[in-house]
């Protein structure tokens, strides 16, 4: 769209652009966001255009302070207060009934708005300076891998936005966990940067969304987070059999020797640390995708803590090629 995209740490520049209704990519602790004034429909509409995201897929609204969150919602239950105290700023998004400040476009017409306070000093400072909250999805084209560095954003949205605020590599590396309530019961809509094990002592057991009630729809599109290279999930050594190692990539938790050319096997953590694995995950997937191999083989992570959120992304990345005809009509990006 004819921008000379610049990357830097100029908060005044970012602030001025956002006040003019422009888009700015901003760092958060989870992934980079593509931000615009959440109270201005024309500004938020540009997000959908630039991301090529369907309009039925709503946006998360970000602000800097719990008092300001309360202006965005029409109800603030004690459970939300408890989660906010324990987790904000941080990788948790709450789905709550929206106030009239939030335009229809941002929630895709839903009576609920997704809100969070991100934990990144630059973006928190930016939010403090702005008189409005920021709507921000992950700063990737719809359906592709989420960006965890400013360079990832530039590689895909360069030329389409004026400015990328560079806050370094994202510390958590996976999108926020999304929680809401259905008939008073807490529901997990998307696994993410805060594991369910940390939330359940506060919320009680987290349920699944009711099938008919899936919102438009937190992390629920079958194909998602997808590299262009086919990704296959399973036991690495069995998957490797019969494949050409020269044309194959491997994504594992710990290092192993698989007989692939250097750089084609990426281990997410030398000692199997799931936090480190989460932090490295999207960048590793991008690196392997850029090699244009025949396939990327990935092993499931241990089914605990952040391992479950990584497995969720791996399954969606794998679903890209398989599940297209069966996709639910609701979706995420």
Residue 176 binds which one of ligand TXA, Mg ion, none, with CB within 5 to 8 A depending on kind? ligand TXA
DSSP symbols for 292-317? --SEEEEPPPPSSTHHHHHHHHHHHH
R_g over Cα of the chain? 19
CB of 155 to Mg ion, least distance (A): 16
Tokens 């931000």 map to which residue? Answer: 35
Q: 138 vs 318, which CB is nearer to ligand TXA?
A: 138
| Adjacent-strand bridge partners of 115 | 61, 94
Total residues found in the chain within this entry: 333
| Nearest CB to ligand TXA, comparing residues 175 and 320 | 175
Q: State the nearest-atom distance from the C-beta of 134 to Mg ion, in Å.
A: 15
C-alpha 261/C-alpha 183 separation (Å) is 54
Which parts of this chain interact with ligand TXA (CB under 6 A)? 28, 30-31, 33, 57-60, 91, 93, 95, 107, 110, 112-114, 118, 136-138, 175-176, 178, 215-219, 332-333
User: At closest approach, how far in Å is the CB of 31 from ligand TXA?
Assistant: 5
Nearer to ligand TXA, 89 or 219 (CB): 219
Q: Which is nearer to ligand TXA, 118 or 186 (CB)?
A: 118
Place of tokens 């409005």: 132
Return the one option of Mg ion, ligand TXA, none that residue 222 interacts with (CB less than 5 to 8 A, by type): none
Which residues in this chain contact Mg ion in the complex, by CB under 5 A?
138, 333
- 110, 82 in Cβ contact below 8 A? no
Nearer to ligand TXA (CB atom), residue 218 or residue 277: 218
Smallest gap from residue 190 Cβ to ligand TXA (A) = 6
> 194 and 36 in contact (C-beta within 8 Å)?
no
What's the rounded Cα separation, in Å, for the pair 273 and 189? Answer: 25
Structure tokens at 331: 């979706």
Query: Cβ of residue 137: shortest distance to Mg ion, in angstroms?
Result: 5
In whole angstroms, how close is the CB of 252 to Mg ion at the nearest point?
A: 24
User: What stretch of H or E contains 251?
Assistant: strand 248-252
Residue nearer to Mg ion on the CB measure, 180 or 203: 180
307 is in the binding site of which of ligand TXA, Mg ion, none (Cβ under 5 to 8 A by kind)? none
Distance CA 62, CA 64 (A): 7
C-alpha closest to that of 51 among 150, 160, 154: 160
Return the one option of ligand TXA, Mg ion, none that residue 145 interacts with (CB less than 5 to 8 A, by type). Answer: none
């Amino acid at each position: 769209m004819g921008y000379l995209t610049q990357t830097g740490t100029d908060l005044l520049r970012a602030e001025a652009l956002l006040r003019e209704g422009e888009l700015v990519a901003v760092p958060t602790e989870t992934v980079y966001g593509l931000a615009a004034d959440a109270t201005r429909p024309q500004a938020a509409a540009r997000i959908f255009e630039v991301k090529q995201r369907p309009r039925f897929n709503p946006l998360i609204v970000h602000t800097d302070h719990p008092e300001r969150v309360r202006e965005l919602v029409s109800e603030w239950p004690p459970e939300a207060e408890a989660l906010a105290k324990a987790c904000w700023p941080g990788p948790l998004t709450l789905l709550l009934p929206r106030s009239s400040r939030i335009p229809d476009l941002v929630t895709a017409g839903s009576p609920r708005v997704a809100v969070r306070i991100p934990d990144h000093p630059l973006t928190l400072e930016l939010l403090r300076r702005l008189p409005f909250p920021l709507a921000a999805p992950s700063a990737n084209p719809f359906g592709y891998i989420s960006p965890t560095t400013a360079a990832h954003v530039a590689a895909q949205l360069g030329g389409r936005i004026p400015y990328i605020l560079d806050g370094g590599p994202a510390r958590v590396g996976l999108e926020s966990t999304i929680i809401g309530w259905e008939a008073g019961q807490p529901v997990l809509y998307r696994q993410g940067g805060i594991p369910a094990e940390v939330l359940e002592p506060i919320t009680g057991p987290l349920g699944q969304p009711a099938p008919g009630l899936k919102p438009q729809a937190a992390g629920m599109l079958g194909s998602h987070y997808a590299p262009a290279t086919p990704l296959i999930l399973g036991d690495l050594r069995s998957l490797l059999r019969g494949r050409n190692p020269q044309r194959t990539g491997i994504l594992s938790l710990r290092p192993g020797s698989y007989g692939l050319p250097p750089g084609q096997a990426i281990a997410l953590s030398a000692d199997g640390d799931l936090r480190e694995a989460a932090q490295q995950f999207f960048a590793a997937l991008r690196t392997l995708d850029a090699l244009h191999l025949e396939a990327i083989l990935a092993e499931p992570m241990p089914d605990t803590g952040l391992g479950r959120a990584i497995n969720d992304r791996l399954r969606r990345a794998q679903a890209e090629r398989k599940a297209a005809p069966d996709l639910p009509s609701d979706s995420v990006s």
